[in-house]
Amino acid sequence: MPHIYDKIVICSCISLIPLAQVAQDLSSRVDDPQLKELATGIGDILTKARAESTINKYSCYFKKWERWCATFEEVQPFPAKDFHFVLYIISLIQLGESFHVIESVFYAVKHFHNVASKPDPTSSTLAEYILEAAKRICHRKSSKKEPITSDHIRKIFQLINGDQANLLDLRNFTIIILSYAGFLRYDEVSNLIFGDILVFETYMKLFIEKSKTDQHREGAWVYIAKLDSPFCPVKTLLRFTKNANITNDNEYLFRATSFFKKKGIHKLRNKNKPICYSTARSAVLLYIKRIGLDLKLFGLHSLRRGGATEAANRGVNDRLFQKHGRWKTAGVKNGYVQEDINSLLKVSLGLGL
């Protein structure tokens, strides 16, 4: 049997997709040379239907499925039979794989069959029921991080000696205050460049070029008000960029630092590369530990969750709240909020008793 990838279209440096078959099938449906030329280009167009990172993920999980198929002479990965695919899902359940893995394989196989116009083995009723069963069997209780509060941020500010903070502490505090005020994820704050900042008299706006929920990479603006407070995110960011001597629009704001022992100062490294996740996480957790909090309960996501929780408990309008956090649905947005006791009591207090 010829290999599934004898004919392929390369969508990125590491992702292989069997789309040449699609172009060939469509070309055979027309006779005009110009129409045939248009049909052969459909493979390249289809690779743009999903983000490159999604295609890379699907490719990885499809290869996992393909390796399993290779152990059985009667099973082929593409086009696949629905019963064979169901047996594969059952094998993953028996191996104790997480539901995330099972779901990823499910949608990877679905994607490659749909995009190649082949019968989808995941669309059968049996496959859909097995997926639902896997969700129940493989369910693991999620462990959400506790939210950082405004009181925690004030304590951190005092800890680093606020207005007299060195550049390293100022960089870290700026990451903290922006993530909190803008409901920013690590990827969003770490990829900010100087040109993404626009400052006005009473507010600033940050351009988020790409985000987890921004599938079409349209970008989004996050608006943050100036405050008459030492913890003002706008003033903190401006002070950091001034002290770090960031002036080039293409410079990443948050980069690694070097310490010059003789001068006793920190400086941003010249290499224009964003701060890595482990460095940012370690920096935030260091402050969390020093103000007496349990490290097991907090992480970088505590900042986004903390800002969302504070806004919700202070009665910020739901529509504006959701737009500020760039959530696609209210259900996902609500998952970030940890209501305080006063908010929870509003329900029974409003029953007219």
The DSSP H or E segment spanning 83 is helix 82-94
The DSSP H or E segment spanning 257 is strand 257-260
Domain boundaries, the chain: 50-138, 150-339
- What is the DSSP track for 284-351? HHHHHHHTT--GGG--THHHHHHHHHHHHHTT--HHHHHHHHT-SSHHHHHTT----HHHHHHHHHTS
C-alpha–C-alpha distance, residues 205 and 261, integer Å: 36
Please name the amino acid found at residue 4. I
From the candidate CATH numbers 2.40.30.170, 1.10.357.10, 3.40.50.280, 1.10.443.10, the one assigned to the domain spanning 150-339: 1.10.443.10
Q: What is the pTM of this model?
A: 0.66
Are the folds of 50-138 and 150-339 the same?
Answer: no
From the candidate CATH numbers 3.40.50.150, 3.40.50.620, 1.10.150.130, 1.10.230.10, the one assigned to the domain spanning 50-138: 1.10.150.130
Tokens of 261: 């022992």
Q: In what order do the strands lie in the sheet with 203-208?
A: 197-199, 203-208, 220-225
Per-residue pLDDT of the chain (353 residues; tens, 9 = 90+): 334 333 333 333 334 445 566 666 667 778 888 888 887 777 677 777 777 778 788 888 999 999 999 999 999 998 899 999 999 999 999 998 989 999 999 999 998 888 877 899 999 999 999 999 999 998 766 667 899 999 999 999 999 988 889 999 999 999 999 999 999 999 999 999 999 999 999 999 999 987 766 555 667 899 999 999 888 999 999 999 999 999 999 999 999 999 998 888 999 999 999 999 999 999 999 999 999 999 989 999 999 999 988 988 888 888 888 888 888 777 777 777 777 788 777 777 777 66
Pure H helices in 194-276: 233-243
CA dist 343 → 85, 145, 315, 334 (Å):
47, 20, 9, 14
C-alpha–C-alpha distance, residues 90 and 98, integer Å: 12
